[in-house]
Amino acid sequence: MYDPTVARLTYRALLGRRRALILGALPLLLIVISVAVRGFSGADDQVAADVLGGFALATMVPIIGVIAGTGAIGPEIDDGSVVYLLSKPVKRPTIIFTKLIVAIAVTMVFSAVPTLVAGLILNGNGQQIAVAYTVAALVASIAYAAVFLLLGTVTRHAVVFGLVYALVWEALFGSLVSGARTLSVQQWALAVAQKVAGGDLVTSDVGLPTAVILLAAVTAGATWYAGQKLRTLKLAGEE
């Protein structure tokens, strides 16, 4: 199910100079904000939860997920170099699964690690807030990577759709329409975080069992469908 060569090619494409800079920019911003906030207002649990929930989990994690998830396959399909993977006796679902693992790992490293660091800076993990949001970021990384990898497989405009989903659906609709929150990776991740933190500072609109089932279903479903799409991917038609 996992092909080390596909993984190596994906890592190197994802962590190429330009993309790595983009991937590194938001985490850096988070750390800078955290240092500034800590400097101005001292260690405050509520402020820490606001920064981690409002910026790290709501904005940074999905955007990193978009960049890593779509970037793991989209550019290869766009420029046609995916032909070198497809013209091999390697099962297409294996290619997708391997790319998913890489996308998850990259999203986790660039979103969960800075979330933990930011949390420690903000309030030294008081009330388990840093760890709770880090777990949320880890969980969300898996689902985002799967969803955006699928987007990268089915459309050339994956980054646009991904950003629209991440920013409009998750951030805007989520705050306006309560029903939309049930269908939000962010809320599912928060449900897990709530369990970890245990207090009132981290809350979700979705119950933990629902969240876990939806997370698993979306991740598995998106990965399976991406594998199917890759099996019938058409590279022609530019004549």
**Site residues, another protein (CB under 8 A):** 3-6, 8-9, 12-13, 16, 79-81, 83-92, 231-239
Q: Which is nearer to another protein, 2 or 84 (CB)?
A: 84
Q: How far is the CB of 15 from another protein (least distance, A)?
A: 10
Q: Which is nearer to another protein, 87 or 179 (CB)?
A: 87
Positive or negative CA dihedral for 63, 64, 70, 71? positive
Q: How far is the CB of 22 from another protein (least distance, A)?
A: 16
Q: How far is the CB of 176 from another protein (least distance, A)?
A: 39
Q: How far is the CB of 144 from another protein (least distance, A)?
A: 25
Q: Which is nearer to another protein, 157 or 231 (CB)?
A: 231
Classify burial at 27, counting beta carbons within 10 Å of its beta carbon; exposed 0-12, middle 13-18, buried 19 or more: buried
Q: Determine contact, residues 193/136, Cβ cutoff 8 Å.
A: yes
Q: Which is nearer to another protein, 86 or 117 (CB)?
A: 86
In DSSP notation, the chain reads ---HHHHHHHHHHHTSHHHHHHHHHHHHHHHHHHHHHHHHH-S-HHHHHHHIIIIIIIIIHHHHHHHHHHHTTHHHHHHSTTHHHHTSSS-HHHHHHHHHHHHHHHHIIIIIHHHHHHHHHHHTTGGGHHHHHHHHHHHHHHHHHHHHHHHHHH-TTHHHHHHIIIIIIIIIIHHH-HHHHHT-HHHHHHHHHHHHH-SSSS--SS-HHHHHHHHHHHHHHHHHHHHHHHHT-------
Q: Which is nearer to another protein, 10 or 141 (CB)?
A: 10
Q: How far is the CB of 26 from another protein (least distance, A)?
A: 23
Q: How far is the CB of 230 from another protein (least distance, A)?
A: 11
Q: Which is nearer to another protein, 78 or 200 (CB)?
A: 78
